[in-house]
């Protein structure tokens, strides 16, 4: 694909580049940025000094790190607590599907078992045996599970947290890593409470009582400021599941945040929006690296390899946001409706289709003109990128909107 800009930026453009870059990242809160503040400042410094090569090198390093850095999540807890179901829910994998963690009423985890995320290859969730089992006694537990490799620990219980798990949390905190207490099967507690106290049942009051009992018990065991999340593995969009995901994303290092956000199932519109914001930053950084100057791009003919790359980009976004053909077929099967019924309100499956005399290149250029016109350049930054990046933004916008349409339809049927 040919470069659409004039040659190397002029000196007077360097300030514009630095200003535009800084302004763009002001749009995101610290916990939502996919590169660290240190990296942002380094890139700004290079741009201020007119060192475009240095800026591009810093961006390249950051993008490579995001793409390759491993994310390891440890999940531990008592037998029958729902660890495997929690891992499946966090990966967006249904029980019984290929690659799903094995679930059961008895202890199914006697070995340390890794589960790769089906879409994000750098993310692994580790199903750890409960502390205190014969092969993993408390005094050897952290060493045997290779404590250092995990980004954080999720300690799961369906009843109460044992002394072993409380001591584990203290050891994790002492070693400077994050841990989160997760109380599963809270939906069963509510069902039982409603059954036995139908006249006085109050959902929120019951949830607050459960949460308070855990917080009091943990504080009594000298766990300072404990965080307990009440969840149901059968309903990842309800209870504290979305709040847990928010905290996990927020407290990860910036370079690991992007892929973890992309891994989260479309449990809420907020989750979809976070994925969209993260993917948008990634595209923007790639475009920035590819070369920018403050000049309006020409709308030349798209070459065949341009179209192929854009097709691959669209497919990638559809998979990440769960609106690809395979995901739609699975959703249609679950909802017992024809897949065409799900597709009728979506736009992304048809973005690259053409009719009559219309050419694909011509259609893409029309999208580009409309998108650039509507956005006043690129996101009002004053920067102009290769035409393919404008189209990637358009594809991302369309796919994210489709994901929200599907989520709203799913809610309307519940």
Check residue 104 and give its pLDDT: 61
User: What is the Cα–Cα distance from 385 to 388, expressed in whole angstroms?
Assistant: 8
pTM of the model: 0.86
Check residue 413 and give its pLDDT: 65
Check residue 379 and give its pLDDT: 43
Residue with tokens 């259609």: 363
**pLDDT tier for residue 1 given thresholds of 50, 70 and 90:** very low
Q: Locate 219 and state its tokens.
A: 């504080």
Smallest CA-to-CA distance from 125 within 115, 135, 113, 133 is with 115
Average of pLDDT values for 386-413?
86
The domains located in the chain, with CATH, are: 11-67+267-413 (no CATH), 69-233 (3.40.50.300)
| Cα–Cα–Cα angle for 400, 72, 406, rounded to 5 degrees | 20
Between 279 and 162, the higher pLDDT residue: 279
**pLDDT tier for residue 382 given thresholds of 50, 70 and 90:** very low
Task: State whether residue 252 is helix, strand or coil.
Answer: coil
Q: CB-side exposure of 347: number of CA atoms within 13 Å?
A: 11
**pLDDT tier for residue 205 given thresholds of 50, 70 and 90:** very high
- pLDDT of 241 higher than 90: yes
Mean pLDDT of the chain: 84
Check residue 376 and give its pLDDT: 53
User: What is the Cα–Cα distance from 210 to 194, expressed in whole angstroms?
Assistant: 14
- pLDDT of 120 higher than 80: yes
Find the range with the poorest average confidence among 14-28, 115-129, 220-234, 326-340: 14-28
User: What is the Cα–Cα distance from 393 to 47, expressed in whole angstroms?
Assistant: 24
Q: Locate 281 and state its tokens.
A: 């930053």
Check residue 414 and give its pLDDT: 59
How many residues does the structure list for the chain? Answer: 414
Check residue 410 and give its pLDDT: 80
Q: Which residues pair with 113 in a beta bridge?
A: 127
Average of pLDDT values for 371-392?
62
Q: What percent of the chain has pLDDT over 90?
A: 49
What is the layout of strands, in order, in the sheet containing 71-77? 113-116, 123-127, 71-77, 152-157, 178-183, 228-230
Between 186 and 21, the higher pLDDT residue: 186
Tell me the pairing of strands 123-127 and 113-116: antiparallel
User: What is the Cα–Cα distance from 261 to 172, expressed in whole angstroms?
Assistant: 24
- pLDDT of 383 higher than 70: no
Task: State whether residue 154 is helix, strand or coil.
Answer: strand
User: What is the Cα–Cα distance from 370 to 390, expressed in whole angstroms?
Assistant: 10
Contact assessment for residue 77 and residue 87, using Cβ atoms and an 8 Å cutoff = no
Check residue 123 and give its pLDDT: 97
Find the range with the poorest average confidence among 90-99, 144-153, 319-328, 355-364: 355-364
Check residue 78 and give its pLDDT: 79
Check residue 343 and give its pLDDT: 92
Contact assessment for residue 306 and residue 363, using Cβ atoms and an 8 Å cutoff = no
Check residue 105 and give its pLDDT: 47
Query: Cα(first)–Cα(last) distance of the chain, in Å?
Result: 47
Between 317 and 355, the higher pLDDT residue: 317
User: What is the Cα–Cα distance from 302 to 360, expressed in whole angstroms?
Assistant: 9
CA distances from residue 133 to 140, 164, 192, 221 in whole angstroms, order as listed: 11, 10, 30, 22
Check residue 225 and give its pLDDT: 84
Q: What pLDDT digit, counting tens, does each position of 259-291 carry?
A: 999 999 999 999 999 999 999 999 989 888 875
């Amino acid at each position: 694909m040919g470069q659409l800009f004039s040659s190397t930026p002029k000196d007077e453009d360097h300030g514009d580049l630095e200003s535009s870059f800084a302004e763009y990242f002001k749009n995101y809160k610290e916990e939502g940025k996919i590169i660290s503040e240190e990296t942002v400042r380094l890139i700004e410094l290079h741009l201020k000094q007119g060192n475009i090569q240095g800026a591009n090198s810093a961006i390249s390093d950051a993008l490579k790190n995001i793409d390759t850095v491993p994310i390891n999540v440890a999940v531990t807890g008592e037998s029958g607590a729902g660890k495997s179901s929690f891992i499946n829910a966090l990966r967006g994998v249904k029980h019984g599907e290929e690659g799903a963690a094995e679930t059961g009423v008895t202890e199914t985890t006697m070995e340390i078992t890794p589960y790769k995320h089906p879409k994000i290859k750098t993310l692994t969730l580790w199903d750890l045996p409960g502390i205190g089992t014969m092969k993993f006694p408390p005094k050897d537990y952290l060493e045997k599970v290779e404590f250092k490799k995990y980004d954080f620990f999720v300690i799961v219980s369906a009843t109460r947290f044992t002394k072993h798990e409380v001591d584990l949390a203290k050891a994790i905190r002492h070693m400077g890593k994050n841990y989160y207490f997760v109380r599963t099967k809270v939906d069963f507690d509510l069902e039982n409470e409603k059954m036995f106290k139908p006249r006085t049942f109050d959902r929120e009051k019951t949830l607050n009582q459960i949460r308070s009992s855990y917080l009091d018990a943990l504080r009594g065991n000298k766990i300072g400021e404990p965080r307990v999340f009440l969840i149901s593995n059968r309903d990842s969009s309800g209870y504290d599941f979305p709040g847990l995901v928010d905290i996990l994303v927020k407290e990860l290092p910036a370079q690991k945040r992007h892929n973890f956000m992309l891994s989260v199932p479309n449990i809420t519109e907020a989750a979809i929006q976070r994925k969209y914001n993260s993917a948008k930053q990634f595209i923007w950084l790639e475009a920035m690296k590819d070369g920018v100057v403050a000049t309006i791009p020409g709308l030349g003919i798209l070459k065949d390899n341009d179209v192929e790359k854009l097709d691959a980009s669209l497919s990638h976004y559809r998979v990440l946001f769960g609106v690809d053909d395979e995901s739609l077929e699975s959703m249609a099967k679950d909802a017992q409706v024809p897949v065409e019924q799900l597709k009728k309100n979506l736009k992304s499956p048809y973005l690259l289709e053409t009719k009559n005399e219309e050419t694909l290149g011509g259609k893409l250029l029309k999208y580009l003109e409309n998108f650039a016109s509507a956005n006043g350049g690129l996101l009002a930054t004053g920067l102009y990128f290769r035409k393919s990046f404008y189209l990637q933004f358009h594809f991302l916008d369309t796919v994210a909107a489709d994901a929200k349409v599907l989520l709203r339809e799913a809610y309307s049927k519940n």
